[in-house]
A and B are shown apart, each in its own frame.
Chain A
Amino acid sequence: MVSSPPPNEDGAKPAYGATTEWLRNEGAACDVVLSSRVRLARNLAAHRFVPQSDRTQRQQVVSLSQQAISEIGSCVWIDIHRTNDLEKQLFVERQLMSRQHARGKLAGGIGGPDEPRGLAVSLPDERVAIMVNEEDHLRIQCMRSGLALSEALAAADTLDDELEARLEFAFSPRFGYLTACPTNVGTGARFSVMLHLPGLKLLGDIDKVKRAAEDMSLAVRGFYGEGSKAIGDFYQVSNQTTLGKTEQVLLQELERDIIPRVMDYERHARRTLFEKRKSTTQDRIMRSVGLAKYVQLISTEEAMEHLSMIRLGAAIGMLNGSSMQAVNKLFLLVQPGHLQHRAGHALTQHERRVERAAVLREYLRDVG
């Protein structure tokens, strides 16, 4: 099937509302694990990699990929080089693509905003997102709510087969799937799990997790991936190596070995906070609730900090059930791109702070 029109043309705009797969808050272990993601890096055989391609070559890769993706169906195609900044920011905030893809710039200053590149997204669930011409020709992403890496891998694997039936991928017996950056060769598979760890943060035990993860050569990053801060106490744990282990082994190291340990640490921390430091914890949570209900001006980072406390309160049963839903929506709605999307036009930083406070007050009216 040919994909439906891109959301940046004509009036058929997808809603891009307050929910997306990774914020559904469903699935296994969702009190601690927000989402599971698998990303496969693939390149077309007999085509130069993105960093060494000129415009014409990049356009060729875009056309071939767009054709293959449209034959498979289920995804909407977006020409990122023709998309305005606001919309690009929206895609980044919804974790459908990287900041790097929004900018179009690669390591070493290669490329620019006008370089031909695309994004294919499955709507309305947003479970699949394929970046075309980011650092590699294809970055196939499958996302699931909660702890569900196996499910995400199965989906990515099937999609990879469907694409490979139509496109020949660069592959060598020794190095496996060939990628622009040698750190991604082999399986080309990056598994990551997004964790909410406010308990460990409050107890000052986050470094324990970081050390445990790093001992197993797993990377710990913030909310928006590489180099980003752990805003709102969200941490992303993922595999560093991609060569020499099968996809299944890489997955198991994360899902069976490290994540259950971290979940135990976090749940234990939450119990400690609730049982041994109850009044202090209650005070922190209720201060955040109070602030969110009456605040008039607020930055993204501060909003995320308080939302994290409110989510903790909901998770340990200190706050009513509707709080969790409201908070999960707000993690997206307080982001700059989403505020401007809601307003329908660009906002200054000050205007965003005003709007953000208004959104918090509106959504958290009934929380307590």
Chain B
Amino acid sequence: MLCECGKNEATVRETVIINGKSIEKNLCEQCAQDLGLAPTTHHPALHELVKQFVHEPGVTEAQPLKAEEIACSTCSLTYTRFKQTGLLGCGLCYKSFEEQVGPLIERAHEGATHHVGKIPRSALERSRHGGPDRLEILLGTTEERLRRMGELRRQLDEAVEAEQFERAATLRDELHRLDQLKPGQVLPDEFSSTHGEE
């Protein structure tokens, strides 16, 4: 059946009330939308995205180990259970399942592999007194920090290339901030918590 417009196939059947009479209309997608009658499309919840990633062949099957039998030593969550729910059991699950979850995270976040951005302020402040080891727990090894800064530099170059100057300035600030966070160094004052409770 053709739509009222006579151009397209009618795919939407809707009852509309005109002057108190209900009239059945057969419309194409475009005309239905013009009348505000088209159904809205839903988007998959984020969990669903994870599940899709996990269930895609090649993601799990490519793993050399039998990933299903792995369990987190801290919270005892099994990888099988994670595949069912898309939810991890504790912070250390990220270590226990790093090999499996790492690629999923990369795909869910458009290729990103490392965090850039906020670092817990009080923890950072406390680690000033705890020496380089404490700082490394928060900031990672030198290699990890260099990698993070390399990523920021890449984003900065991209922003400059695209003439996104505001974004470039933000990235430059972040680079500067990270550069000052070297293990073994006394942190500049801007990193000390303004809400000191100790």
CB distance from B41 to the nearest CB of A (A): 8
CB distance from B71 to the nearest CB of A (A): 11
Contacts of A248 in B (CB 8 A): 170, 174
A365 on interface, CB distance cutoff 8 Å: no
Contacts of B76 in A (CB 8 A): 52
A344 on interface, CB distance cutoff 8 Å: no
Number of A residues near B (Cβ < 8 Å) is 69
Contact status of A186 and B87, CB under 8 A, knowing A202-B36, A204-B33, A245-B112: no
Per-residue CB contact flags for chain B residues 164-198 toward chain A (1 = under 8 Å, else 0) read 00110011001000000000000000000111110
Which residue of chain A is the closest to B30 with respect to CB atoms? A204
Contacts of B33 in A (CB 8 A): 201, 204, 206-207
Contacts of A112 in B (CB 8 A): none
Is A49 in contact with B195, judged by CB distance below 8 angstroms?
no
CA distance A305 to B90 in the complex (A): 44
Is B87 in contact with A246, judged by CB distance below 8 angstroms?
no
Chain A residues 28-45 with CB under 8 Å of chain B are 43, 45
Is B109 in contact with A226, judged by CB distance below 8 angstroms?
no
A276 on interface, CB distance cutoff 8 Å: no
CA distance A43 to B140 in the complex (A): 19
Contact status of A241 and B122, CB under 8 A, knowing A175-B94, A187-B117: no
Contact status of A176 and B108, CB under 8 A, knowing A49-B88, A164-B123: no
A345 on interface, CB distance cutoff 8 Å: no
A135 on interface, CB distance cutoff 8 Å: yes
Contact status of A183 and B108, CB under 8 A, knowing A166-B197, A201-B36, A249-B170: yes
CA distance A157 to B120 in the complex (A): 10
Out of B114, B166, B167, B195, name the residue touching A244 (CB < 8 Å): B114
Is A243 in contact with B112, judged by CB distance below 8 angstroms?
yes
Chain B residues 76-104 with CB under 8 Å of chain A are 76-77, 81, 84-91, 93-95, 101, 104
Contacts of A160 in B (CB 8 A): 118
Out of B43, B93, B105, B140, name the residue touching A227 (CB < 8 Å): B43
CB distance from B143 to the nearest CB of A (A): 10
CA distance A108 to B118 in the complex (A): 31
Number of B residues near A (Cβ < 8 Å) is 68
Indicate the member of B91, B166, B195 with the most A CB atoms within 10 Å.
B91
A161 on interface, CB distance cutoff 8 Å: yes
Which residue of chain A is the closest to B42 with respect to CB atoms? A227
Chain A residues 178-200 with CB under 8 Å of chain B are 178, 180-187, 189
Is A230 in contact with B86, judged by CB distance below 8 angstroms?
no
Indicate the member of B112, B144, B194 with the most A CB atoms within 10 Å.
B112
Contact status of A204 and B34, CB under 8 A, knowing A175-B115, A246-B174, A248-B174: yes
Is B112 in contact with A182, judged by CB distance below 8 angstroms?
no
Which residue of chain B is the closest to A172 with respect to CB atoms? B94
CA distance A249 to B114 in the complex (A): 15
Is B85 in contact with A182, judged by CB distance below 8 angstroms?
no
Contacts of B25 in A (CB 8 A): none
Out of B136, B155, B196, name the residue touching A249 (CB < 8 Å): B155
CA distance A244 to B47 in the complex (A): 20
Contacts of A229 in B (CB 8 A): 40, 42
Is B46 in contact with A226, judged by CB distance below 8 angstroms?
yes
Which residue of chain B is the closest to A235 with respect to CB atoms? B40
CB distance from B141 to the nearest CB of A (A): 8
Is B86 in contact with A164, judged by CB distance below 8 angstroms?
no
Which residue of chain B is the closest to A229 with respect to CB atoms? B40
Contacts of A180 in B (CB 8 A): 87-88
Is B120 in contact with A169, judged by CB distance below 8 angstroms?
yes
Is A161 in contact with B122, judged by CB distance below 8 angstroms?
yes
B2 on interface, CB distance cutoff 8 Å: no
Contacts of B149 in A (CB 8 A): none
Out of A43, A168, A173, A185, name the residue touching B105 (CB < 8 Å): A185
Which residue of chain A is the closest to B97 with respect to CB atoms? A182
Is A181 in contact with B86, judged by CB distance below 8 angstroms?
yes
Per-residue CB contact flags for chain A residues 135-162 toward chain B (1 = under 8 Å, else 0) read 1000000000000000000000100111
A to B CB contacts below 8 Å, 12 in the list: A49-B87, A162-B195, A168-B120, A172-B95, A174-B115, A176-B118, A181-B88, A186-B117, A226-B46, A243-B108, A245-B112, A246-B117
Smallest CB-CB A-B distances: 3 pairs: A244-B112, A173-B140, A176-B115
Task: State the B residues within 8 Å of A (CB).
Answer: 30, 33-34, 36, 38, 40-43, 45-47, 49-50, 75-77, 81, 84-91, 93-95, 101, 104-105, 108-123, 136-141, 144-145, 151, 155, 166-167, 170-171, 174, 193-197
Task: State the A residues within 8 Å of B (CB).
Answer: 43, 45-49, 51-52, 106-108, 110, 135, 157, 160-162, 164-166, 168-178, 180-187, 189, 201-204, 206-207, 210, 217, 219-222, 226-227, 229-230, 240-249, 252, 256, 305
| Known contacts A187-B117, A243-B115, A246-B174, then 7 further A-B pairs from the complex at CB < 8 Å, ordered by chain A residue | A48-B89, A161-B194, A168-B123, A172-B115, A173-B145, A174-B94, A246-B171
